[in-house]
Amino acid sequence: MLPLSVFIIAKNEADRIGATIRAVRDLTDDLVVVDSGSTDGTQAVAEELGARVIFNSWPGYGLQKRFGEDQCRHEWLLNIDADEELSPVLREEIKALFAHGEPPCQAYGLPIAETYPGEAAPHPLAYRLSPVRLYRRDAGRYSTSLVHDRVELKPGTKVGKLKGLVHHRSIRSLGDQIAKLNFYTDQLALDLEVRGISIPTWRVYVEFPAAFIKAYFGRLHFLRGTYGFLIAMNYAIWRHLRLAKHYEKKRVKALARANKGEQA
């Protein structure tokens, strides 16, 4: 076992969290699952596989991961989402980092590639993000954002990048993705309001086609054939809904201010 804690946030992930845990349980003696109220037996699946399950009401993405950090025992932390799975290559790479003591960097980005329904693994040329997921707790913490779950590193932190993939099974179906994106865009619109950010209305007219082009060509979804086209469409819908809900909130607030002014 490595001197490493693994933490996972979850809700209603009984069908996916088993693969996630099995891919990391030989790395750690401290596997933490933070559950925000699953009703499908996620907790039992996680406990059966050796995880320590802790309930915490949903406070937002960043804050839930901060709570997870606080439950961990080791100085080194690895965060994996309940719909992600470390590839065998990445597992061995992480083991090699600790083979001779302390790793040379204080934080590491892990390349994450989508695995869609009907695929056993990501396309070899699939678009990848490499966020920091493996890090020392004294090098940084997750942000407190409602919607952005990124590690905010201290200035001067030495960051490395691993090569093995995380397989991200982010959607169960296209319908499941739409439901997930509808909830997430609610959170995004609220986050913009809380932070006092106003996006120009003209963006509503161009966001959908621009986002589709970005996903289909820029993120290489065209390599996935028809399913890639459909995923790019859903991505564009997500970007459009974020701005549509933001615009609606501004419109309602403007009417409330006008009514208040008339009453005064």
Condensed to tens digits (0 to 9), the pLDDT of residues 117-144 reads 988 888 888 899 999 999 999 999 999 9
Over range 240-247, report the average pLDDT. 95
Over range 47-66, report the average pLDDT. 96
> In the chain, what are the domains?
4-168 (3.90.550.10), 174-263 (no CATH)
pLDDT at 258: 81
Q: Is pLDDT of 113 > 80?
A: yes
Q: Is pLDDT of 51 > 70?
A: yes
Q: List pLDDT tens digits, range 174-199.
A: 998 898 899 889 988 988 988 889 99
Q: Where are the alpha helices (DSSP H) in 195-224?
A: 203-213
Q: Is pLDDT of 264 > 70?
A: no
Measured torsion, CA atoms of residues 169, 170, 171, 176, in degrees rounded to the nearest 10: 150
Total length of the chain: 264
What are the residues facing 4 on neighbouring strands? 76
Residue pair 166/114 in contact by the 8 Å Cβ criterion: no
> For the ranges 90-99, 188-197, 235-244, which has the lowest average pLDDT?
188-197
Among 19, 12, 127, 95, which Cα is nearest to 58's?
Answer: 12
Q: Is pLDDT of 237 > 70?
A: yes
Strands of 80-235, DSSP E: 84-86, 107-109, 112-114, 128-129, 132-136, 140-142, 151-153, 159-161, 166-168
